[in-house]
Structure formats: C-alpha cells, structure tokens
Amino acid sequence: MRKEKNTVWEQACHHLKETLPADIYEKWIAVIQCRCVEEDRAVLVVGNDFYQSWLEEHYLPLIKDALAVTSGRNFQIELAVDYNLISEKTEKKEKGTSILPARRASATPTNLNKNYTFDSFVVGPSNQFAHAAAIASAQSPSRAYNPLFVYGGVGLGKTHLMQAIGNFVASKHPRGKICYTTCEAFTNEYIEALQANMLSKFRKKYRTVEVLMIDDVHFLAGKERMQEEFFHTFNAIFENHKQIVMTSDRPAGELSGLTPRLVSRFEWGLVVELETPDIETRVAILRKKCEQLALTIDQGLLFYLAERISSNIRRLEGALIRVASFISLTGQGLDRSKLEYLLRDTLDQEKQHAISIENIQKTVAEHFDLRVSDIVGPRRPKNIAWPRQLAMYLSRTMTDRSFPVIGDAFDRNHATIVHACQQVKTRQYEDLKLRQTLALLQQRISHNAQKAGGKL
C-alpha cells in the first residue's frame, strides 16, 4: 500500500509539474502530502484550511485528471487539513515567513507545545488574574495555589496558559516529570489500562509527577468510574505536595454530574476565569501572532479583524492566517467585500455568538406582550406555553448554545427543549402564519443583537 501511495501520487505530481507553470506547481501542488491511496479513493493533506478551500475551488479537477491520466483509475479525492503537517519542502523554502510551520505543535519530550509560553501570552484585563495565578504556580509549584483551576469559554487561552506553566517548570527543572494530558486522553488511557490489566502502571505514571496538567476536565461530567479514578489520582498527587493544574469550560460547581467530593477538591486551591478579551487585547494578540509568524499586515486590517471577531481567540487567529495566506499566496490586495467573502464562515459564527438567549427571550416576550418572567417561569397556560416554545426553538436555531445550556436558561430540562424544537419545526411546514412570525422575530432578534453590540 505504501508503495502504491507513493508511486500513484508521485506520478500524478510529475504530470502536474509538466503541465502547470513552475510557480503555481510549487505554491499549490508541492505542499500537498498524500496520506493514502485506496482502490478508488485518495486522501491528500494540506497544512491549513485556506489551502484546502483554495485547492478545492481551483485545482481539484486538475489533480483528479492527473491521477486518472497517470494511473488509469478514477479517484474520489478527500482533501483534509492537518495543522501539524510539516512539509519538508515548505519548511526549507519558507522558513521564517511560512504560514505553515507556525501552526505545528512542536512537541518537546514533555509533549508540550513549546509555542505556548508566558512570553507569547498577551495579558489584558480579561486574563490578568488567571495569568498572575499561573505565573505564581509555575514559580512555586504546589506551594502557591494547589490545585489551580482555570475555566473559560472555547478558544480563550486555557490550554495555552496551562502549557505555559508546564514549559516554565520544564525549563527550570529539566529532570522533573511534567505531565500534560487532556481529560479525554487520560480517560482513554485508563480504559486501555483497565482492559490490559495494567492499572498499576497507569497509576504509577500519573501519581509520580511533579506537575500534573489535565486539560478540559468538563469531560469528566457524568463519568462516574473515571471520576473515582481521578479522585484517587488527585489525592495521591496532592498528598505528595505536587502541583495540579486543571482547565474546564465552566466552574466545577456548574458541571452537572460531577461528584460533590471532586467539586470540593477542584475548589480547594484557586479558581480563576479567562474572560472574553477586550478590543485592545485582541489587537495586541494579533500583533503578537504577526510577530511570531513574521507576517506584515496592514494595521487597519488587524483592527478590522479584532473588531469583527471577538468571542474566540482561536477563531481570530484562524482569520488572521486566512487573510495572510490569501495575500501571500495570491499576491492580491484585499478590499472590504473580498475580506467579507474570505471570512464568511467565521463572521457567521461570530454573529451567532453575538445573539444571546436573553435577547431572544426578551424579544419574544415583547412580541407577545408578555414579561420575560412569564417566558422562563413555571406557569403553563397556552398563551404563555407557545411563545415559550418559540423562544426555545429560536434559541436553538439562532445561537450556538447546546440543549443543556438552553435548558438552564429556561429553567427546564434538556428534554423539554428538544421537544419544543420538534414541535415548532413540524408546525411551521403547514402553518404559513407561524413561518411569518418566526421570520419577523428572527429579524428583530438580529437587529437587537447588533444594536447591543454597537454595530447599528
């Protein structure tokens, strides 16, 4: 198989090299890596999603043809993204200016990403406290705050900050055993150890560390057996006076299905929150990323990105890379409409984020001449129950919140929200008036969200 993968793809490349202008070939084809070739399917991999969409839009038919011509077979092509991909060619050729290498997770023996340091972490009001706590924990592990519990939304820097602690400790104590793992990987490893009768090895590995960092502990919610194991790991490390750092998408007390004894342990040390950064911090983060990636980007453009993308730094960084890739690979400038097009998916996601459930409840209540307290309250007369179901449906379709989160906002359980969404969805097919009401409500909700965000 390996041999076939190489020859089929190499021959296709050879063909493309002969048919395409040299610079186009180097820019767009030489960077592709072939992962696997099967009977009628080939998996090709590129280093970021900009390459993926550009290749899909512009070069996929050519690649397909080249494969067909050289192998005599028709292939379905799957074009995947692997951010860790380092194409040797790209690295050699574009060292220092490439958009690719910077995204790779450069593993040190501690399995940490060495780009995630305190130096590369921009401090602002939204993360000042968490940052200070992380520095203190890194400087005196197990003595400052133990455990350190960092929580916050997706893409706000939890993993970065946690690994910065690990990298710092590793640089000071190169011999210390520093262990970073995601809670999911930890769980999988536990299950494997259990199956292979290797629990004592598993326990030894995790209970003899200097610093244990467990990322995304919200993954433990509802997993009783794992919580039990984690409880003992926690106690062993704590009693050994070693540092524990954890991250989660919400405070321990709000993780449903987490045993009270774990909740209380998670709160023993210091609990800090990473909040959404303000515009100045977002601009500073973009500048820092430009510096790291050796990108020269117009300041106005940076400001535009920071202004439009506010809820998630990973998304902001993704947009920067997309824009930088576009400029460097096409040699074209970007005007406002091109920019909107290039970032359309990201901007849509942001819009969804900007819409709050509160806004929906308020808008629906106003429309039906009710109070918000009626919408979220326990009463069930029909004139309230139906608008309430509409608000639940709109919360699900107009935001990126999950059923449980919406359930919390309406003081109902998850199943009630699922039921409401099904009701409204089914009824709209036969009810023109309902469709009109929904359209009107959607329009008002978007309008209110923009007004609240200062965009109107």
Return residues touching ligand ADP (CB under 6 A): 120-122, 127, 152, 154-160, 285, 288, 313-314, 317
Binding partner at 242 among Mg ion, ligand ADP, none, C-beta below 5 to 8 Å by kind: none
Pick between residue 120 and residue 208 the one whose CB is nearest to ligand ADP: 120
Binding partner at 121 among Mg ion, ligand ADP, none, C-beta below 5 to 8 Å by kind: ligand ADP
Pick between residue 154 and residue 191 the one whose CB is nearest to ligand ADP: 154
Count CA within 13 A, CB hemisphere, residue 68: 10
Among 420, 328, 333, smallest CA distance to 380 is for 420
**First-last CA distance in the chain:** 58
Q: Does the footprint of Mg ion cover residue 159 (CB under 5 A)? A: yes
Per-residue contact string for residues 111-150; x = within reach of Mg ion by CB under 5 A: ----------------------------------------
| Total residues interacting with Mg ion, rule: CB under 5 A | 2
C-alpha–C-alpha distance, residues 314 and 448, integer Å: 26
Residue nearest to Mg ion (CB): 159
Q: Closest distance between ligand ADP and the C-beta of residue 118, in Å?
A: 10
C-alpha–C-alpha distance, residues 129 and 138, integer Å: 14
Q: Closest distance between ligand ADP and the C-beta of residue 361, in Å?
A: 28
Pick between residue 157 and residue 407 the one whose CB is nearest to Mg ion: 157
Binding partner at 154 among ligand ADP, Mg ion, none, C-beta below 5 to 8 Å by kind: ligand ADP
Token duo for residue 6? 């190489």
3-state secondary structure of 237: helix
Contacts of 331 (CB under 8 A, 6+ apart): none
CA 350 to chain centre: 13
Binding partner at 441 among ligand ADP, Mg ion, none, C-beta below 5 to 8 Å by kind: none
3-state secondary structure of 131: helix
Pick between residue 293 and residue 370 the one whose CB is nearest to ligand ADP: 293
Contacts of 51 (CB under 8 A, 6+ apart): 28, 31, 81, 325
Q: Residue written as tokens 């399995």?
A: 111
Residue nearest to ligand ADP (CB): 157
E-strand spans in 97-237? 148-152, 178-182, 211-215
Q: Footprint of Mg ion on this chain (CB under 5 A)?
A: 158-159
